[in-house]
Structure 1
């Protein structure tokens, strides 16, 4: 099969780019061809192309793309010329032009949409008027026309049913996966701490994600302030690009004199990310809304004990395995969980081990990539 993924394939987009990278690597190893069509803004850093795949950048059309996400005349022109060459067009996310364009041009490709958590209540409530407009114009109709809707979990299943008012026959649960081998041999301990002046005896709390309100930073920051009162040597590392909440974060740090205890280190990639995971005492992501958090899976695969909300995309698995501290979405709840992991070594070790088992038994990319390929094939046979 020849497969086209449509996604803003950049470092800034976070998890979806990593998911596409790992899935594409597996799909190519099985003899299929994959292209990635990516709307880009000048200056954005593209995620690396998987070996054997082709990334096709197309310019976002401004100022329209500021109003309608990822609007790109170049994308439309590429699809008009080449869409007939693909067996599968896989759109990642909704609410943007990339999830509409393939339906505007007559073609026989299998059309797949991965929701990526964008229909949960929190996500739908933000930029609400735009989403109501898109819903009224076409979004519900397109989901009904898609050959396959990929969702990651039962929570997302309920989100889709609530949005459409019915359960579509074309919906299937296929979780995202992890390339486990990338986290088997982490860098030597102490490297990240040495780079950032963090002592070996200091408790290092690691947050990895875009600096966006939906990641629960409005809960994490005051929670860490409470932790600091009991563990004054604790350090909070915020690793991620600004996505609308960096100014508020910096103001909080300044107003509470936490400049020596909360460090913004920007986005960490590749070796730098693994160095941070090697040195972290715990990982934290009290998110309000996630499609399927690859950052949490990376921490769990690295055997770092985690505090997360049940909105990270696989809360049902976490409950089943008791694989993390599932926090209430309040500053006090987050603070209580942080202290539990940092002060109870046996508990921290136990949840880390259970989390590792959860990932290896359910989210190996080799297994889940094959599941999605099989869904493609079923549709192809029936058409």
Structure 2
């Protein structure tokens, strides 16, 4: 549940308060160190079983804990795949049902981990082979023996059908996804943002806020920006915010971006600084090669910030239909075109995109709507 990891743990934190309003109580079981400083700050119970061991994420405490506590719950949601915890959860519920007449339903929520991208990407050839083997040995049983698979959007559900053979889940359920409404803009947010990004010139930038990882298309983003900068004067600064600068890819991106003084790397932004970034940016950009949902994309929409995304962000159809941003494919040339198209718009058109962005958020991605859809899906 380390907040730095974003993704599923942030989704859990978004959904639990909304589900509580509907009378649903949630508890979380996780492989965290019980003494971790980020625990104890949430309004819900987290059972931290200690850190996992081995690359498989093995934790000997999980199955005994589940067998001792299954009867306390109506539903168990297993978040993510390809590690020990999903195998253990299904193994435990099958054992539990042999000696108990009642048991909770167990659903798997893969969070995009059944996307065919992970099997086709050139950089993942060895991992793809590993996944094929692991699928045959373990994960197809996890998928097919659980009570159903939960997807965050229709696109994810459809893509999951194309990746592996022997994919026969009992149910495929689009439960949707949403975020808590952003806090209203306060001057303190702009100040916090400015303090985190001292080289910001005060003009609305273009914002990337996500992990600095090859999957996110950061290299294409930097190259496209530098190319446009060579052709045009006074373009907005590009702020690339997120964890990962200390890793090899992050270091490569720093070198790649060194050609431009207007590409800024503040690291991870949170709290007021994050909201200040969303509210003060003229557009949010995410040229991912694969993005299951994109919480940051929806946060931008909710702040009336238009989004510039690839069509590998799985909620692109709703965004394009609602006019909340511009969509291109995930190639270097397409991202260059994306920049050019956005920068060529008149100011009133950019403002219109901002209004439509908020409308897309309200129509599809409020946490209240997501919570209701979630409950309908699993009942």
Q: State the TM-score bracket (shorter-chain normalisation).
A: 0.7 to 0.9
In the TM superposition, what are the counterparts of 1:235-314 in structure 2 within 5 Å? 235-242=237-244, 245-254=249-258, 256=259, 258=260, 260-314=261-315
Instruction: Compute the displacement of 1:175 (Å).
Output: 1.2
Give the match for residue 17 of structure 1. Answer: 9
Please tell me whether residue 341 in structure 1 is matched to residue 378 in structure 2: no
User: Hey, what does 1:372 align to over in structure 2?
Assistant: 374
**1:115 equivalenced with 2:115 (yes/no):** no
- Runs of 4 or more above 4 Å deviation: 41-45, 164-167, 186-190
Q: Residue 6 of structure 1 corresponds to which residue in structure 2?
A: none
- The answer to whether the 8 A contact 2:291-2:314 is kept is yes
1:151 equivalenced with 2:151 (yes/no): yes
State the Cα RMSD in Å. 2.4
The aligned residue for residue 83 of structure 1 is 70
Deviates more, 1:120-129 or 1:90-99: 120-129
Distance in structure 2 (CA, Å) of the matches to 1:186 and 1:332: 38
- TM-superposed CA distance for 1:123, in Å, is 2.1
TM-score, structure 2 length as denominator?
A: 0.87
1:324-346 Cα offsets, whole Å, 9 max, x none, are 11022222321222233234223
CA distance in 2, matches of 1:327, 1:48: 42
Assess if the C-alpha contact under 8 Å between 1:219 and 1:330 holds in 2. Answer: yes
Per-residue CA distance 1:231-252 (angstroms, 9 max, x = gap)? 4553221111116621221221
Q: Distance in 2 between matches of 1:316 and 1:238?
A: 25
Alignment partner, residue 55 of structure 1 = 46
Q: Aligned pair in 2 of structure 1 residues 268, 75: CA closer, same or farther (>3 Å)?
A: farther
Tell me whether 165-174 or 299-308 shows the greater mean CA deviation. 165-174
Q: Does structure 2 retain, via aligned residues, the 8 Å contact 1:341–1:347?
A: no
Bigger Cα displacement from structure 2, 231-240 vs 280-289: 231-240
Match of 1:138 in 2: 138
Taking structure 1 as the reference length, what is the TM-score of the superposition?
Answer: 0.86
Match of 1:98 in 2: 85
SS across alignment from 2:353: helix
C-alpha distance after superposition, 1:156-175 (max 9, x if no partner) = 22222223556644111121
Match of 1:32 among 24, 30, 41: 24
Q: Distance in 2 between matches of 1:58 and 1:166?
A: 31
Label 1:148 to 1:309 Cα distance change in 2 as closer, same or farther (>3 A): same
Q: Give ranges in structure 2 of 5+ residues lacking alignment.
A: 97-102
1:74 aligns with 2:69: no
